[in-house]
Amino acid sequence: MLLKTRKTTTQAKGRRFAIVASKYNGRYVNSMLKAARETLHQSGASEVLVVRVPGAFEIPVMVAELAGRKKNELSAIICLGVIIRGETTHAQHIAEAVTSALVHLQVEYRIPVVHEVLLLENAAQARARCLDAERNRGFEAATTAIEMAKVMGSLRKISP
């Protein structure tokens, strides 16, 4: 299995996470999603809620919905998407707006939002970031979420 040999932890024990993943460029996103989900489960997460949306631009509204409804249950929200630059600047504007929305959402709701919505130049870049067993960004996203959950938890324990 993909992540068998990776260093995992039990630091996510009992925690709940959500993953919002777009469907567009599904081959790449699915691979990140699989790695992220496995990493969370292997680290002891008690629940991983996965929500699929059509494209990258649909990710922020779902993060807002989840943060608004489940802020106290969720330790972090992971966002996975792949945008490949086309012949117009549309992809660039989408990527900038999504990045801006995700940073403001985590600030507004004070919940960690992990940003792996990738704007890439071509399929080779997507393969290297999403299909490579060693450097899969889904794994990186999950470990970031776990680590943020832990840091936030510690901080809230010492000063509730």
Q: Which residues bind a copy of itself (CB under 8 A)?
A: 51-55, 57-58, 60-66, 68-70, 87-90, 92-108, 110-115, 118-121, 125, 143-144, 147-148, 151-152, 155, 159
Residue 123 vs 152, nearer CB to a copy of itself = 152
How far is residue 34's CA from residue 136's CA, in Å, rounded to a whole number?
10
CA distance 85 to 116: 16
Report the residue number, 4 or 87, with the smaller CB distance to a copy of itself: 87
90 is catalytic: yes
Q: Are 32 and 65 in contact (CB under 8 A)?
A: no
Least distance from C-beta 14 to a copy of itself, angstroms? 19
Closest CB 151 distance from a copy of itself, rounded Å: 6
In this complex, which beta carbon is closest to a copy of itself, that of residue 45 or of residue 119? 119
Dist. CA 115–CA 17, nearest whole Å: 14
| End-to-end C-alpha distance for the chain, whole angstroms | 40
Shortest separation between residue 101's beta carbon and a copy of itself, angstroms: 5
Q: Which is nearer to a copy of itself, 3 or 57 (CB)?
A: 57
**Candidates 41, 90, 104, 115; catalytic one:** 90
- Chain centroid to Cα 82, Å, comes to 12
AA identity, residue 80: L
Which backbone phi and psi does 67 adopt, to 5 degrees? -65, -40
Active site residues: 90
